[in-house]
Amino acid sequence: MRVGKPLIGIGIIIAIFGIVFFLQGQSLVGPKSSFMYSNPQWMINGQWIAIIGIIILGIGLVILKINSQFPKS
């Protein structure tokens, strides 16, 4: 089963969300009425979410590379 490409897509989306949450926590993006706006806890949450997204992206890239080296007949 091919899971590399979906993991890459999911990792990118999660990393983007993490970056947006981080920027909202720093008061750089988003409406001022948001509970994440200017909230230091969301800076930390956004960092971890982005890191998790990058890890998922990396796993997807490794799986894709392994599948391309050893294709199933």
**pLDDT digit of tens for each residue in the chain (73 aa)?**
689 999 999 999 999 999 999 999 999 998 888 898 999 999 999 999 999 999 999 999 999 999 988 887 6
pLDDT at residue 24, rounded to an integer: 94
Its sign, for the CA torsion 23, 7, 62, 68, is negative
Report the Cα–Cα distance between both ends of the chain, in Å, rounded: 13
pLDDT at residue 1, rounded to an integer: 63
Give Cα 13 to chain centroid, integer Å. 5
Instruction: Show me where the domains of the chain are located.
Output: 4-67
pLDDT at residue 59, rounded to an integer: 97
The pTM for the full model equals 0.89
Q: Find the radius of gyration of the CA atoms of the chain.
A: 16
